[in-house]
Amino acid sequence: MSLFAHLIIGNKGSDRSNENLDEKNDSLIKRLKAGDCNAADELVDNYYEQIYLFMRRLGHRRQVAEELVQETFLAAWQHIEQLRRAKAINCWLYRIASNVSSRYWRKNKNNKAVSINGIYSISDQEISYEQPEAREQLNRLANAVRLLPVKLRQAVVLHYMQHLTIAEAAQAAEVRQGTLKSRLNRALKALRKQMTEEFGDI
């Protein structure tokens, strides 16, 4: 089972499997710091899917997202000496990915974020069984997320979509936990306002 699959399943795994994961990551970090190229390949295999999805959820187009994922792993390899703890590997990668993404938005101010409702695939059938209104709601929400300012969108994606805890998301966004909470609050208010205008008080 890839690490991505593990994360998709969520935090339901036993403590035992978490310990195993930490041990695995410890060994991975040691090998990465020693310059082991096989370890670099392992890092890519374990994390590229979730970093790709992160980029897509931040509103990058498919091709751009692929380029940014490559850039993220290259930067990770170049700055591996900054990684200290095995547990931090996830946050550390998200931090690099967030920086890579922010740099892209700064350089390409005219490029607009694409809505995440355009990347339904695995669960598409599941949605279609639901009422059309529910689907419409999700589409509207996806569009509202797309329109959020970059920092608020980043906070929402890290916490609600990539399932990072507040502490982890704050670390990934390189802000204090209070700042991240404040960003999430502002984002939720903006999203609620947008959704209430369209769907009323549900």
Question: Which residues contact other proteins by CB under 8 A?
Answer: 8, 33, 35, 37, 40-41, 44-45, 48-49, 52-53, 56-57, 66, 69-70, 73-74, 77-78, 80-81, 116-117, 119-124, 126-127, 137-138, 141-142, 145, 156, 160-163, 188-189, 191-192, 195-196, 199-202
- Of 17 and 78, nearer to other proteins (C-beta) is 78
Closest of 48, 103, 107 to residue 74, by C-alpha: 48
State how far the alpha carbon of 186 is from the alpha carbons of 81, 190, 200, in Å: 35, 6, 19
At closest approach, how far in Å is the CB of 16 from other proteins?
Answer: 26
- Of 22 and 49, nearer to other proteins (C-beta) is 49
- Of 52 and 94, nearer to other proteins (C-beta) is 52
DSSP 118: G
Contact 26, 86 (CB under 8 A): yes
Closest of 85, 77, 82 to residue 47, by C-alpha: 77
Return the biggest CA–CA distance within the chain. Answer: 57
In sequence order, the 6+-apart residues with CB closer than 8 A to the CB of 114 are 59, 60, 61, 146
At closest approach, how far in Å is the CB of 41 from other proteins?
Answer: 5
Distance of alpha carbon 72 from alpha carbon 100, whole angstroms: 6
- Of 19 and 74, nearer to other proteins (C-beta) is 74
- Of 26 and 67, nearer to other proteins (C-beta) is 67
At closest approach, how far in Å is the CB of 120 from other proteins?
Answer: 6
At closest approach, how far in Å is the CB of 72 from other proteins?
Answer: 9
